[in-house]
């Protein structure tokens, strides 16, 4: 479907403007909070780069991992959630220190989150239809914020599926000699050459299904 000129301009530059606005607001808030604590100017100026920078870098890494089949980038996503959450919390606390109303504090807290959402939505839009479907969906940031327990259960199920897939690949790639050696070492009668009966292969597969026969 062809985009209108307005839609093309918004999709091309709108996400970048949101990110820049979020970073500027958050960086100013973190800088001001650091200066309230009498930190040196140079150190205070690095606070936005430290927290918001980590959140954006981790978000990009998590999305890169998401394009790898059966990979979830758990470490990068957890780092993104930690950095973005800490930045939002500190921005909210800056509002408390200034003595402004709760809506203004929430406005400051949401600035880095708005930038992250704009980045993730834009990258996912560009990568639409190019990635392979993964066994289970990965929880989005909004899901972590609204339903943290359900998001954790979903992520745990995704990891279990990934481990099962890895184990299945290991079993499928097991050579005939590997199966033969395992069977003989466990007391089964199998020839030194020739094909292995399917019944004995099934025994090997069931015995190693839980990782017991894998090194």
Structure confidence by residue, pLDDT tens digits, 168-184: 545 544 567 777 787 77
What pLDDT does residue 85 have?
92
Between vectors from CA 91 to CA 33 and to CA 151, what angle results, nearest 5°?
145
Integer Cα distance of 131 and 46 in angstroms: 36
Q: pLDDT value at position 32?
A: 94
Question: How high is the mean pLDDT in each 10-residue block of the chain (215 residues)?
Answer: 69 84 93 93 92 89 72 80 92 94 94 88 70 49 70 74 56 64 78 74 69 47
Phi-psi label, residue 134: left if phi above 0, alpha if psi -120 to 50, beta otherwise: beta
Q: What is the torsion angle, in degrees rounded to the nearest 10, for the CA atoms of residue 203, residue 206, residue 212 and residue 213?
A: 40
Q: Where are the domains of the chain?
A: 5-134
Question: In a 3-state reduction of DSSP, which class is residue 154?
Answer: helix
92 closest CA partner among 2, 84, 14, 73: 84
- pTM, to two decimals: 0.57
Give the burial class of 201: count Cβ atoms within 10 A of its Cβ; 0-12 exposed, 13-18 middle, 19 or more buried.
Answer: middle
CA dist., res. 47 & res. 132, Å (int): 37
Query: How far, in Å, are 26, 106, 161 from residue 112 at the CA level?
Result: 6, 11, 32
Position of tokens 């993104």? 80
Residue with tokens 């780069």: 49
Structure token pair of residue 61: 């890494």
* Tokens, residue 91: 């921005």
């Amino acid at each position: 479907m062809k985009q209108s000129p307005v839609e093309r301009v918004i999709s091309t530059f709108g996400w970048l403007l949101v990110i820049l606005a979020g970073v500027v607001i958050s960086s100013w808030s973190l800088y001001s909070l650091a200066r309230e604590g009498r930190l040196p100017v140079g150190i205070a100026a690095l606070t936005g780069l430290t927290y918001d920078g980590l959140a954006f870098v981790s978000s990009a890494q998590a999305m890169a991992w998401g394009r790898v089949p059966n990979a979830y980038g758990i470490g990068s996503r957890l780092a993104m959630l930690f950095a973005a959450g800490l930045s939002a919390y500190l921005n909210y606390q800056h509002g408390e220190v200034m003595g402004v109303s709760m809506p203004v504090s929430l406005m400051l807290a949401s600035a880095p989150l708005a930038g992250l959402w704009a980045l993730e939505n834009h990258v996912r839009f560009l990568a639409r239809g190019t990635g392979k479907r993964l066994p289970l969906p990965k929880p989005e940031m909004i899901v972590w914020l609204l339903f943290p327990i359900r998001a954790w259960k979903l992520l745990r199920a995704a990891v279990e599926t990934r481990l099962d897939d890895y184990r299945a690949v290991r079993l499928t790639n097991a050579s005939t000699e590997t199966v033969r050696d395992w069977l003989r070492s466990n007391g089964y009668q199998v020839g030194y050459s020739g094909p292995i009966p399917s019944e004995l292969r099934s025994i090997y597969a069931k015995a190693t299904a839980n990782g017991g026969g894998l090194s």
